[in-house]
Structure 1
Amino acid sequence: MKLDVFRQRKMKSVILIFLGWLIVNLIVLAFFDYQERKFILSKGVDPDRAYKFKIISRQVSVPGYSNPFPVKSRLLCPTERRHGGEYPLIVFLHGVGERGFDNVAQLKSLPQRLAAEDEQEKYPCFLLAPQCPPKMNWSSETVLIDSTSTAGKKTILLDLVYQLILDISAKHSIDTKRIYITGYSMGGHGTWSMLARYPDLFAAASPLCGGGDPKSVEKFSHLPLWVVHGDADQVIPVTESRKMVEALRMNGGRPEYRELPNVKHDCWSITYNQTDKMLEWLFKQKTN
């Protein structure tokens, strides 16, 4: 009898210890979840939408840095995929203000918009959002460490983006005839540069408030482009886009050009968030 009582007390003690351990861990997890959500919100991103993106990381070494470091990206997949169906891929290049290692800041504007359920119903797609490391730009020199095809070769950051596109296209149900690229500011420059480096990869592009080399447009003048710039931009002069558009037209191109009156550098808020015209146009484009 005494033995049974002892066993019951011991079992109760074990259960109480386990419940205490469980409660403490739940409190810790809740605290970390709260802190993470708070951090994501501080970057101007909805946490629930950020969690819809898969995390991708690639190691690179960079001249002037003693140790390799990761270049991080996020990948959004269509919410519901049809069996055997293929979906377009949008490559999104952010601006200077979203550089870093947090793998969150680059989700502002277009990425988090397309992560919303109603947007995925309207525009089901994959979206790749790489994050440029601090003190770099999309054309900074890098050495890709963990890439089988380019390991050890001197490249620029955009070549890593290209490699990511190839890898994602091989692993996911992506319609390779509907790969698009867009970006603003530094990402606008990156978009123009990416078109010059890989003109046959994309079905269409939309560079916003950026600029490039007008001599390079002969490589991609055949592509459908939707170019936007605010005429009051004091960060990157509107003449940068005007030069590219003029060069395209001189080479037989027919770009859609939107010069927004009295709009400063932030033309992407209008293009990405306040109108569907660009996206409606973009998703209609397809390579032959």
Structure 2
Amino acid sequence: MKVDSINFLSNRENIQKISVEDFKKGIFTIETDTIPYRFLEPKETFLKKRYPLVIAFHNSSRIGNDNEKQLEHLTKTWLTPDIRATYPCYVLAPQFNERSSNYSKSEEGFLESRPSQQAKLVLSLIKELQKRYPNIDDTKIYLIGYSMGASTAQNLMAMAPKEFRALVSIAAVPDLSNLKAFKRKPILLIHGQMDLENPYEGSVTQFERLKGNKRLILKTYDYLNHATITIPFLSGDEIPKWLFKH
């Protein structure tokens, strides 16, 4: 664990130094609601080529409207030179000024998540970006997130499964409201057994209820908790490599 902690701090420090200038600022407004967002384009684009869109949701500590804090370390990994060169794509990082996913206890006693109204607005933002960037590949829109952001990613998949190709969920409180939405999707659930904030049992329950899905993976880290579960993903390309297989 000491080695992991050292690697974690080193990786965070290296990623912290990366300039976020290429993540352009935008504001999406629909009626009376506004969502600040950052948007990263591929390093270079070709007219006849289409590119995936990755939507990265932030955790609850990044709530606000400064259009800065949502670029957490996992999101910034898409700026590293190797990943940008190997996995060209668009990356959308919206910021919420309230919780994007709310938790409540199910009748069985475990936590479940439900989307906020702001989270639902992301569906409209995606449509707007598809109009503006016609070479977004609408068959390859990926959802990723950590903590509250992972729950939000699951919420959107549950609401509009036809819009999204695959999902990476790190330390989420699961959304079990529409299991059919997840039945055939490529889904990577990542959780630490030591997680007491968003309990590991939630991902286990979700995995068991989706056992018929042969594209579903539950990756367990028995020695990591809620704060340390991002350690393995701040270096290397495991997440983009898995996404781009689909």
Whether TM exceeds 0.5 here: the answer is: yes
| Cα displacement (A) at 1:60 | 6.2
| C-alpha contact 2:35 2:94 (8 A) present in aligned 1 | yes
Pick closer, same or farther for the CA change 1:60–1:82 going to 2, 3 Å.
closer
Could you tell me which residue of structure 2 aligns to residue 158 of structure 1? Answer: 119
Could you tell me which residue of structure 2 aligns to residue 71 of structure 1? Answer: 35
Could you tell me which residue of structure 1 aligns to residue 226 of structure 2? Answer: 265
Pick closer, same or farther for the CA change 1:282–1:114 going to 2, 3 Å.
same
Tell me, yes or no, if structure 1 residue 93 matches structure 2 residue 57: yes
Using CA pairs below 8 Å that are at least 6 residues apart, which structure has the higher relative contact order?
Answer: 2
Pick closer, same or farther for the CA change 1:115–1:278 going to 2, 3 Å.
closer
| C-alpha contact 1:179 1:204 (8 A) present in aligned 2 | yes
For structure 1, the 5+ residue unaligned runs are: 1-43, 62-67, 141-154
| Cα displacement (A) at 1:69 | 6.5
1:58 corresponds to which of 28, 36, 58: 28
| C-alpha contact 2:192 2:222 (8 A) present in aligned 1 | yes
Q: Which has the higher strand share?
A: 2
- What do residues 18-65 of structure 1 show as CA deviations (whole Å, max 9, x unaligned)? xxxxxxxxxxxxxxxxxxxxxxxxxx975763110121113468xxxx
CA distance in 2, matches of 1:125, 1:45: 19
Secondary structure at the aligned position of 1:178 is classed as: strand
Tell me, yes or no, if structure 1 residue 168 matches structure 2 residue 140: no
Could you tell me which residue of structure 2 aligns to residue 113 of structure 1? Answer: 77
| Cα displacement (A) at 1:118 | 2.9
Secondary structure at the aligned position of 1:193 is classed as: helix
Pick closer, same or farther for the CA change 1:48–1:280 going to 2, 3 Å.
closer
- What do residues 246-275 of structure 1 show as CA deviations (whole Å, max 9, x unaligned)? 1111x5454111011110003552353134
Could you tell me which residue of structure 2 aligns to residue 11 of structure 1? Answer: none
Pick closer, same or farther for the CA change 1:99–1:121 going to 2, 3 Å.
same
Could you tell me which residue of structure 1 aligns to residue 203 of structure 2? Answer: 241
TM-score, length of structure 2 as denominator length: 0.81
| Cα displacement (A) at 1:244 | 1.1
- What do residues 141-180 of structure 1 show as CA deviations (whole Å, max 9, x unaligned)? xxxxxxxxxxxxxx81122111111111121111111110
CA distance in 2, matches of 1:270, 1:80: 30
Identity percentage over the alignment? 27
Q: Which has the higher helix share?
A: 1
CA distance in 2, matches of 1:214, 1:160: 20
| C-alpha contact 2:59 2:145 (8 A) present in aligned 1 | yes
CA distance in 2, matches of 1:58, 1:278: 27
Could you tell me which residue of structure 1 aligns to residue 169 of structure 2? Answer: 207
TM-score, length of structure 1 as denominator length: 0.70
Pick closer, same or farther for the CA change 1:263–1:139 going to 2, 3 Å.
closer
Could you tell me which residue of structure 2 aligns to residue 125 of structure 1? Answer: 89
Higher Cα Rg, which structure: 1
CA distance in 2, matches of 1:240, 1:156: 23
- What do residues 121-142 of structure 1 show as CA deviations (whole Å, max 9, x unaligned)? 1111100000111xx21147xx
For structure 2, the 5+ residue unaligned runs are: 1-13, 103-115
| Cα displacement (A) at 1:83 | 2.6
